[in-house]
Copies of this chain bind each other. A is one copy, B any other.
Amino acid sequence: MKSLAEHVESPELAAACLQFIESGGHTTQSFGLGQVIGQVFALLYLSPRPLCLDEIAEELGVSKASVSTTVRQLESWSAVKHVWVKSDRRDFYEAETDFKAMLRQGVLGTLRKKMDTAAVRLENVETTLADALEKSAQTGREETKVVAERLQRARQFHAKINGLLNNPLLDHLL
């Protein structure tokens, strides 16, 4: 991280920016994502102009490979967007300022995907359970019904969370 100190007028401002970038890295790391992705976004968020891959890599002191993959992930969440600079082959990126859209396509998007895969798993369990219910119909055991009831409640909970994620009220609250 050296060029930042060159571009910024006061060392105090540079210190604040570095603190912010570091905080972003710690935050994303605490959520299981790496620390690079948070640093990249924080840097782009504070940058007054779009930056290219090499600038980001040099600024953060990480490899260009990390920045390449990270930027594409951020782009898929519409957290950063591609920007073309006239007569320059390089790819420049700038941070998305609309946090709401970022949250929708980023956090909520991945959350919805996980809910979908969980739904598939639950459906498989229910088909297996249907076999069990069918074969124990003559015996009429108690335990089967208890398990069936628990599984049904789990599905209801899943549906409730799913509904919450797609609730327009949630969008309105942001």
Contact = CB atoms under 8 A, between A and B. Distances in A.
A9 B99 contact: no
Contacts of A167: 173
Contacts of A83: none
Given A122-B23, A151-B20, A131 B32 contact: no
A65 interface: no
B19 A124 contact: yes
A10 B144 contact: yes
Contacts of A141: 9-10
Given A20-B125, A150-B45, A151-B20, A160 B174 contact: yes
B19 A125 contact: yes
Interface residues of A, number: 53
Looking at chain A's contact residues, is the secondary structure mostly helix, strand, loop, or mixed? helix
A143 B13 contact: yes
Interface of A: 8-10, 12-13, 15-17, 19-20, 23, 26-27, 30-32, 45-46, 48, 97, 99, 114, 117-118, 121-122, 124-126, 128-129, 131-132, 135-136, 139, 141, 143-144, 146-147, 150-151, 153-154, 157, 160, 164, 167, 169-170, 173-174
